[in-house]
């Protein structure tokens, strides 16, 4: 990370500040975001992460976007927690495919102590492969967070999803206070925080403003900020939501970059439905991490060859690595 001449991170942003950034002319916003990005990160580098569902379906939460909720009929069969050796093999395969970070997600409301030994073993297995590690397992107690931190877990993901005002339209089985309690336990244990949200759930711009304001007024900022575009799932309450336009998505990325200059801003779910032009603009305004691999928990993701072609055309490289080899366009 560079950041020698960047302004110090702020946690005193007002909602008016955030709304004002969204309202900037697009070119002005893009220039400001790109300037901040280059002050803090190497230009044209993107971290590659891979995400594995280690326990799928049957979740008791009612998050209105989620195919894994037991409240909705989505046709997804529930499964048990994966075997540690199977997770190790997937992590090894992810690294061989170019991933630098390996993320593991379980469809739980909270972690049960009986599962903690297997989770600790998974973290150690991923770290032994030389990968950065992240987990998203629902709510954590302070002792559980310490156990995962002691095992070497680098990041814990726990998203706020949306603005405080729209939150109740998305989920009612877990409060924002519940989420912040888990984030506090993660920080207290010494792990880095991965925390972001979702756009395209029927919210308005004021909710995207509120979501980023809620993220940027945390102190310290989340070290990783995933911005998801909703992948609509038949059978979920939010599955028929109108997606946000490409330029509005890029604006959200740009504002996140300005507000949280030292955070890794990740284009998370939704790339399967994004044009290459949308993704190129998102990288231009400061996105510097993506998920690779053909699945994100239960939804699709662009094929690796497609990402390689896009990276080659844009002149991007994996963080700390060589540029992708140029390949012919179809």
Q: Report the distance separating Cα 9 and Cα 157, nearest Å.
A: 21
Single out the catalytic residue among 32, 90, 101, 134.
Answer: 134
Among residues 32, 90, 101, 103, the one annotated as catalytic is 103
The Cα–Cα gap between 70 and 58 comes to: 5
The per-residue pLDDT for 257 is: 98
Angle, alpha carbons 274-278-282 (nearest 5°): 115
Yes or no: say if 112 and 61 are a contact pair by the CB < 8 Å rule: no
Which of 254, 160, 161, 172 is CA-nearest to residue 202?
A: 161
Q: What's the pLDDT score for residue 300?
A: 61
- Tell me if residue 111 falls in helix, strand or coil: coil
pLDDT recorded at residue 4: 64
Helix (H) / strand (E) element for 28: namely helix 26-40
CA angle 46, 102, 266 (to 5 degrees): 35
Could you tell me if 69 and 236 are in contact, meaning their C-beta atoms sit under 8 angstroms apart?
yes
Taking only Cα atoms into account, the Rg of the chain, rounded to an integer number of angstroms, comes to 19
Enumerate domains of the chain plus CATH numbers: 15-313 (3.20.20.70)
Q: What is the Cα–Cα distance from 264 to 272, expressed in whole angstroms?
A: 21
Question: Of the residues 63, 174, 179, 195, which is catalytic?
Answer: 63
Q: Is 266 an annotated catalytic residue?
A: yes
* Res 284: pLDDT: 97
Can 278 be counted among the known catalytic residues? no
- Residue from 159, 284, 165, 125 nearest 230 by CA: 159
194 catalytic per annotation: yes
Q: What distances in angstroms separate CA 42 from CA 3, 214, 264, 279, one per listed residue?
A: 10, 27, 12, 18
Alpha-carbon span 219 to 190, nearest angstrom: 14
Pick the catalytic residue: 40, 59, 195, 278? 59
pLDDT under 50: residue ranges of the chain: 325-330
Is residue 63 part of the annotated active site? The answer reads: yes
**In the annotation, is 103 catalytic?**
yes
Distance, CA of 101 to CA of 218 (rounded, Å):
24
The pLDDT value given to residue 327: 40
State the CB neighbour count (10 A cutoff) for residue 219. Answer: 10
Q: How far apart are CA 250 and CA 10, in angstroms?
A: 22
Measuring CA to CA, which residue among 180, 131, 138 is closest to residue 154? Answer: 131
d(CA 329, CA 316): 16
What is the reported pLDDT for 76? 76
The active-site residue out of 32, 40, 66, 278 is: 66
Which pLDDT value is given to residue 269?
A: 87
Catalytically annotated residue among 194, 195, 257, 278: 194
pLDDT single digits (tens) 223-244: 999 999 998 888 899 989 999 9
Which candidate in 90, 179, 266, 309 is catalytic? 266
The predicted structure's pLDDT at residue 329: 38
């Amino acid at each position: 990370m560079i950041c020698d001449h960047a302004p110090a991170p702020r946690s005193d942003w007002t909602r008016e500040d955030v709304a004002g950034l969204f309202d900037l002319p697009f070119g002005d916003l893009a220039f400001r975001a790109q300037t901040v990005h280059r002050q803090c990160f190497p230009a044209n580098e993107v971290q590659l992460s891979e995400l594995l569902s280690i326990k799928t379906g049957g979740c008791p939460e009612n998050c209105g976007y989620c195919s894994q909720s037991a409240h909705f009929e989505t046709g997804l069969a529930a499964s048990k927690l994966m075997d540690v050796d199977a997770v190790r093999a997937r992590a090894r395969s992810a690294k061989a495919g170019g991933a630098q970070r390996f993320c593991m997600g379980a469809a739980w409301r909270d972690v049960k102590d009986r599962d903690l030994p297997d989770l600790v073993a998974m973290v150690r297995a991923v770290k032994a492969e030389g990968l950065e590690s992240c987990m998203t397992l629902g709510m954590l107690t302070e002792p559980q967070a310490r156990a995962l931190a002691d095992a070497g877990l680098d990041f814990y993901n726990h998203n706020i999803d949306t603005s405080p005002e729209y939150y109740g339209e998305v989920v009612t089985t877990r409060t924002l206070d519940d989420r912040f309690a888990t984030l506090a336990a993660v920080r207290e244990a010494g792990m880095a925080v991965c925390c972001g949200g979702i756009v395209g759930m029927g919210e308005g711009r004021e909710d995207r403003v509120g979501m980023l304001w809620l993220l940027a007024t945390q102190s310290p900022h989340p070290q990783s900020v995933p911005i998801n575009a909703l992948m609509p799932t038949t059978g979920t309450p939010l599955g028929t939501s109108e997606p946000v336009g490409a330029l509005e998505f890029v604006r959200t990325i740009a504002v996140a970059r300005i507000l949280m200059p030292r955070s890794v801003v990740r284009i998370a779910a939704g790339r399967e439905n994004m044009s290459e032009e949308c993704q190129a603009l998102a990288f231009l305004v400061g996105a510097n991490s993506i998920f690779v691999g053909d699945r994100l928990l239960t939804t699709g993701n662009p094929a690796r060859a497609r990402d390689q072609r896009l990276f080659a055309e844009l002149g991007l490289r994996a963080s700390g690595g060589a540029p992708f080899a140029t390949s012919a366009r179809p």
